[in-house]
Amino acid sequence: MLRFRNKIFLLCVLISSFLQANEAERAVVKIINFSQLPDWQEPWKFSQVTPGAGSGFVIKGNRIMTNAHVVSWSRQLLVFRYQDPQPYRASIEFIGHDCDLAVLKVDDPAFFEGLTPLEIGELPAVRSSVTTYGYPAGGQQISYTSGVISRIEIQRYSHIFNRHFLTLQTDAALNPGNSGGPAIQDGFVVGVSFQGNPELENAGFIIPPEIIHHFLKDIEDGYYHGFPDAGFNVASLHNPAFREYLQLPNGEGARIDYILEPYPETRQLIKENDVLLEIDGYSVGSDGMILYKGNRMQASVLFDNAQHQEKVPVKIWRDGTEQSIDLPVFANTEDRLSGRQYDTPPPYLMIGGLVFTELSLDFLRDLDRDQRSNDAELLYQLFYRNLQDEDSSRAKPILLSSKLNHPGNIDLRIPKRLILTHLNDQPIQSMQDLQAALQSPVDGFHLFVFSNHMMEALEVENADAIDQALLKAYQIPATCRIHDHE
């Protein structure tokens, strides 16, 4: 009798699992994005429109969750239901480029009819099995792959480049087009497929529930702020002499090596060589790791759990005593130039055919490898500026991105990719500075000084005439495009 009951129970479980799986695949959608990328060297231009395919899945509130990179620079988005040829127009409701997640809305309510949204689960265990769903390689039919969670750790999120968050690694095959599709375990979404690593075999990466929940909570107020950071760098503290120097009584705690800019509140509360003992109740080991849900991982994961402007309780060791601090954390936007940028095309300002724009990672990526590696100054200005001081970290270096030749400027031999330090005797640290300095010519001339101390001049009247001629000749919409990122 007992055996019979067990068999019935097992059958029910199997049927339930089958139905769940069946429901899951119905909630997975195919996304086609017609995108147009900006030209970072000639910022008024865009690339030709190219289609790209990805995956997504329906979540509660008649939304579709996918990767930010699937829908970036979109001109038109189409979504397709499971085994339904009908395309539906979709649009981005929220996008988090730092965590590579986005939610889409579909105007036609018919799209969501009969679909059961998928629920987001909890962090899966290492060695547990997951099934990924998606439309790899732009195929018409949904694809399933299975594997185990091989590792859980912090990884670089390549879509934004300058952020590192918690990541699941799986041996389930993930291919282009899988991006944005769910990884499912026991009927719950335990991750969103998002990137691979060409140096590894049989390794795909999934955004874990921690990041998904954070993103969804962040947008509850109708605005996406992004993931906050504490603003310091943690170094391991195994060396006995260093521990003795810091008068530490036991073997726990990692050292705060330096504080980043611009985190003024962190700078007030935290000092270099403070020892981080505890974050949000989790003990920090001498390797800077914590034990989080059974996995050892970098302590910074706890700051990622907080929302922008929240306070995280930390215990530190300073001057031989333990202290408790509520540390406010912030989503830093001042370092946007050292990561990939989206949504807003690059700013520019043209003066007599000289086109100036912001120095950014995107600008450097557009250069070929030789040009990039030869620009030691640009790399330094882009990546090391944040270490100098608060003002430097907020500055946005401006460079000469291109020069449109015209008989009136043909004799200017200034090389491209030089950083402009002064215009009309005024220091330039942003596009706004450039725009303001343009209004103050010196004795009828615009005077330029570059970081290598080279200088150039243009007569104001001549510069204006050149610009007007160039706008017409090259179909450029305007002499400038300047955004207020603040």
Partner 1 sequence: MIMNKTISIWLIITWFGLPLAALPWKNDASFQAEESLVEIEVTKKSYSYKQPWLTNNQTGNKNGLIIDHHQILTTADGLRFDASYRIRKGGESKRYEATLSSIDFQANIAILRVADPEFWLEVEPVIFAPDIPQNGNLQVYRWRSGRIEERTAEIVRLYVGSAKLSKLAHLVLLASSEMNAAGWSEIVMDGNRLVGLTTSGSKNKQIMILPATFIAAALERGPCGEGMGHGFFDFYWMPSNNPALLKSKGLDPKSSGGIIVTRTGILKKEATSLREGDVILKIDGFTIDKEGKYIDPKYGRLSFKGLSSRSHATGETIPMEIWRDRQMQTINYLLPRVDYNQGLVPSRQQDAEPRYLIAGGLIFQPMDDPLMQALSKTSSGAMDYFQEMQPEIGRPSLVVLTSVLPDDYNLDYENIGPLMLDCINGLPIHTLEDVAHAFANPLNGFHHLKFMDDFNLKHLVLKAKTLQDATERVLQHYRIRSASRGVDPLKP
Known catalytic residues are 69, 179
User: d(Cα 171, Cα 142) in Å, to the nearest integer?
Assistant: 19
Q: How far is the CB of 253 from partner 1 (least distance, A)?
A: 13
Nearest Cα to Cα of residue 234 among 211, 269, 210, 260: 260
Across the strands, what pairs with 328?
A: 311
Closer to partner 1 by Cβ: residue 192 or 299: 299
Angle at 301 between CA 296 and CA 305, to 5 degrees: 135
In 3D space, the residue among 391, 382, 404, 272 whose CA is nearest the CA of residue 335 turns out to be 382
Shortest Cβ 13–partner 1 spacing (Å): 50
Site residues for partner 1 per CB under 8 A: 233, 235-242, 244-246, 255, 257-258, 272-273, 376-377, 379-380, 383-384, 387-388, 411-413, 442-443, 445, 447, 452-459, 462
Please state the closest distance from residue 448 (CB atom) to partner 1, in A: 9
Helix or strand (DSSP H, E) at 75: strand 74-80
Whose Cβ is closer to partner 1: residue 150's or residue 393's?
Answer: 393
Nearer to partner 1, 56 or 288 (CB): 288
Q: Of 171 and 456, which CB lies nearer to partner 1 in the complex structure?
A: 456
CB nearer to partner 1: pick between 33 and 298 = 298
Peptide bond into 262 cis (omega under 30): yes
Tokens (6 digits) for 308: 């922008």
What is the nearest approach in angstroms of partner 1 to the Cβ of residue 370? 15
In the complex, least distance from residue 254 CB atom to partner 1, rounded to whole angstroms: 11
Q: Which is nearer to partner 1, 250 or 475 (CB)?
A: 250
Q: How far is the CB of 460 from partner 1 (least distance, A)?
A: 10
Residues 6+ apart with CB under 8 A from 216: 59, 103, 120
Q: What is the dihedral of CA 222, 225, 230, 233, to 10 degrees?
A: 150
Question: Where are the strands (E) in 174-288, listed by range?
Answer: 182-185, 188-196, 204-207, 232-235, 254-259, 275-279, 282-283
Q: Which helix (H) or strand (E) holds 149?
A: strand 143-156
The answer to whether the CB of 71 falls within 8 A of the CB of 36 is: no
Let me know: does 424 contact 442? Beta carbons within 8 Å: yes
